[in-house]
Structure formats: structure tokens, C-alpha cells
Structure 1
């Protein structure tokens, strides 16, 4: 199976993280509460999947690696849309905003990431009353700058701040930055960020 950035991986009970640096103490505590990691946008190492662990604090993020055998379940952001539609979520502003976003994105392949995605997948209550909503869109066809402008305009009227990353085969970029129609754009790739021209995204 292919693992893509922002996929949430539920770990098997006996799963072990692989790290080439010391693992902080908080990592074990976090995984005991919610045995989930997120796939990082990075290069595989010795066939190991690059993953990240989130702690209780914003500054508690740790990058490590994982073998495929340690994975119990894979949850993509797109899968999480049905979670909140079925009422499997708390009544928090950022989670409620998914209903607004669903109308805006229509038939796009999209889903929540960040704290909202993590809470919907794991059941761990990490979303706060001040949380923003992070979302990704996966493009299967060309998205014009005009389309992006219209979407961004609608998102600005949402009840919470919504940050959208557009995922392509070449990497990911900010929908807001793309809508500005500037000559270059920051593209996030597995090899790191790179400035590219808009016509290179097509």
C-alpha cells in the first residue's frame, strides 16, 4: 500500500517507532493515550515510512519512522468526512465548520487534517475552542486560479479560519497562495520546499 502525507496510521499494540535520534519521554505517553501517527512529507528510509507523533502541547512534535508491519489501520483525511457526517464528533467550532466546508468543496476529494483530523480518527480530544480547521484537497484535474479565488472567497466567510493545502502528484501548495496568481509558488515536496512557477503545477 502507498502511504501519503497526512494519512493517519493506527498502530498495532506491539508497534515500535524507529528513530535515529533519542525519543522524548512524552512520545510514549502520547501513543499510550492515542496510538496514532501521521505520515510525514519526507523520503522513505530503508523502506520505513516517515511518520510524526503529536503530543499534548503545540511544541511537542516528533519525527520518526515506522515499518509497514506495525500498522493496524490507515485512515485518509477523505475517510474522515463521513465520521462527522455520522455525528461521531464533538460540538466544537472547528469541527462544526466541516459542514460549511463540505458545501464549498462539493465534489472535490477533500478531508480534514491537523487537530480536527486527528481527533476524528483517534477519538482523543485535541481540538480546542480556538482551533483552526486544516483541510486538504486532492486534485485529479486542473484547478484554475479563478476557481481557487472563488473557493478562497467563500472560505473567508466560514465561522473559523480554514487553511487549505492542495495535494498533487508533485507536492502540496497553499490554496490561498495559489489564488493570488503570482509568478511563483511554494511547493512542499518529500525533498523539502521549493519555489516553482505556476505553469509547472499543471
Structure 2
């Protein structure tokens, strides 16, 4: 998040993320508390679509860390909401069942093609879904995607994804991106946190795992010593 509110609790009480919701889940909220110094666009954005995305940050009991998005790419705001204000949550994989409201846009064209591809035997067991502007528009039905929007994806990989399988999947995503004329960016959700598919597929000695406590360079995101933090 480029801008973030001060936590509405003592920082010493922030211990972990609420396991009822996972990073990239979209939460529909009953209300959004006001915070000192919040950007001018926040109130209008929340009235337009009362949703926030779960972000990787620590929270005290009773709170969940979320991010809000405005109409501009630069309009991102990190804050916390009380769990009692969450009406319901939508996971990225659940959004695959939602028909795109503007199917001709490149991001939705690429998503449709990928849905067909992921029925192949080598990928059929993967749990995945759209995030970013594509996921937000599918969940809220509010126009958010532009002709140049990236297609952001989350792929849940509780079990280890081989480097070869990752490279094969990355090749297909890059081909789809070329056909659609946009970027397709995929993140693996591993036991150690979020890892970019492109990094794991590249065979790097260590990769960046994004966790609630902050990013960490690790050799194996599926090693037994690692867990969601």
C-alpha cells in the first residue's frame, strides 16, 4: 500500500492475521471507520463499492488488515476494520463463476481463455482465481478494469509446485498475455506466503515470500519450517 493508516490498536497487540480470511479475499463491509489523514478519495470510493481486499499485515484480535482502491492506479490505502463490520467474503477462486460484465476487455478475454486452459489434466487440480482490478470488478460489478489493465492471478499451492510445472504454466500465461496485449501476473500462495510465479519458475536459489510480518527471502516456500505469518 502506498498510504496506510495508523493501526487502531496498540502495535504490541498485533500478532497475526485472522485465519477466517486470506490475503486477496474481498470483504464487503457494513461501514468503514474514519482515520486521521486518510486520502480525500477514500469516502467516495467506499460509497461506490463497499469492498476492501484483505492484505498481508498483522492485526490485533478483532481486526483485519485491508486495502481500499480508488479509481486511479495510484489510489491505494491500507487500513484495518473490525471483524464485526465484515458482511461476507469472496475468495478469488469463487469469482471464476461470475460472468464478466464487460467481456470484450482484454483482461476478461485473457481470463476466459485461461479458464479453458486450466481444464487440462496437468492443471485441473489447481485452485486459482483473479485478483486486482479484474477480481474487484467481478465481485462488485463496478467498472474497474480498463483496456490496459493487467490480469492478476492467485494460484493456491499448498503442495509443492515443481519448477518444471511452474515454467510450463508461466509460458502459457505469457502467451496469453501476448495475445491479449496486456500483462498477466500470477502469485503462488504457498505455506510461506505469496511467491511470484515468475520467480519460482526462474529457478532462483531464493525467492521472495510475502508474509504478514514482511517479505522474506527463502529457498523453499514449502519447507516444513515455514508457515503462514
Question: So what's the TM-score if we normalise by structure 2?
Answer: 0.81
2:61 counterpart of 1:33: no
* Among 136, 141, 149, the residue aligned to 2:159: 141
Unaligned runs of 5+ residues in structure 2 are 1-18, 224-229
Question: How many residues get paired?
Answer: 196
Change beyond 3 A, Cα 1:201–1:169: closer
Aligned mates of 2:189, 2:80 — CA distance in 1: 22
**Deviant stretches of 4+, over 2 Å:** 16-19, 87-91, 104-107
2:29 counterpart of 1:11: yes
**What is the root-mean-square deviation in Å for CA atoms of aligned residues?**
1.6
- Offset at 1:90? 3.6
- 1:92 is matched with 105
- Offset at 1:88? 4.7
8 Å Cα contact 2:158-2:189 kept in structure 1:
no
- 1:113 is matched with 131
Aligned mates of 1:180, 1:90 — CA distance in 2: 32
8 Å Cα contact 1:8-1:74 kept in structure 2:
yes
Aligned mates of 1:59, 1:51 — CA distance in 2: 16
2:214 counterpart of 1:192: yes
2:97 counterpart of 1:82: yes
SS in 1 for 2:210: strand
8 Å Cα contact 2:159-2:222 kept in structure 1:
no
Question: So what's the TM-score if we normalise by structure 1?
Answer: 0.91
* Among 178, 181, 202, the residue aligned to 2:203: 181
Deviations 1:116-142 (A, max 9, x none): 000000111110001110000011322
SS in 2 for 1:189: coil
- 1:101 is matched with 114
Change beyond 3 A, Cα 1:82–1:89: farther
